[in-house]
Amino acid sequence: MAENRVALITGAGRGIGAKIALTLASENIDIAVVDYGEESAAAETMSALAAAGVKAKYYRCDVSDFTATKAVVDAVVKEFGKIDILVNNAGITADNLILRMEEADWDRVLNINLKGCFNMIKHVTPYMMRKRYGRIVSISSVVGLMGNAGQANYAASKAGIVGLTKTVAKEFGARNITANAVAPGFIKTAMTDALTEEQKKEMYKLIPLGCLGETDDIANAVKFLTSDAARYITGVVLKVDGGMYI
């Protein structure tokens, strides 16, 4: 029997990251759950992964910390033996207009959303190169492609992921390592659930398909890009936005 592939997923304790973890687990992929919160906050996710029958372990880490990310990557390889898949999902927002935005909010968003991707890629790729195999998927956003008032830091970080992804694809392609990005649009989350019906109607007007996306839609895109079916796809930004940005 072939051994399971191993995926390291950041921001996987809950939300979209947790859904990605569970979707990959359904493909018999073992999961290293990396998140900044306490392990207790990811108890539901870890329980679901155990029920899926795959090996899973939780690692607490601030992805913006270069030294900490190396320690986690090394620990994952020691525990699982390898890392086949890296999913850079960890991200935050600290929205404000540029005139009101604090330097600290700019730095924090860029450090977690963009530097965090660099840190993980930097430390994971040497292991992937030795195996001559790797699948890297980073979660960007349509905001990184189109911009959005009040989100200069977030948009810049997500646009940076696009440039980083294309560069990684060029630098590591010869070692059979692909790098792609997924750019979600409006996805149904606790935050969007809190919107009024009027606010939702205005939002739907921006989306040709007329509805919000589900976390499953993002997870399935990641599943495809990390599968053998996508072996000849690299340097791509896959928009999952219902046609919001065309």
Closest CA to 30 of 63, 89, 76: 76
Residue type, 11: G
Residue type, 218: I
3-state SS class at 171: helix
Burial 190-218 (b: 16+ CB within 10 A, else e): eeeeeeeeeeeeebeeebeeeebbebbbb
**Sign of the C-alpha dihedral computed for residues 72, 78, 79 and 84 taken in this order:** positive
Closest CA to 112 of 73, 146, 158, 152: 158
What's the number of CA atoms in the CB half-sphere (13 Å) around residue 146? 15
**Order of strands, sheet of 237-240, starting from the edge strand that comes earlier in the sequence:** 56-60, 30-35, 6-10, 85-88, 134-139, 177-184, 237-240
Closest CA to 93 of 81, 106, 82, 84: 106
Verify whether residue 154 is a known catalytic residue.
yes
Q: How far apart (Å, rounded) are the C-alpha atoms in residues 110 and 107?
A: 5
Catalytic residue among 58, 154, 232, 245: 154
Residues annotated catalytic, as ranges? 154
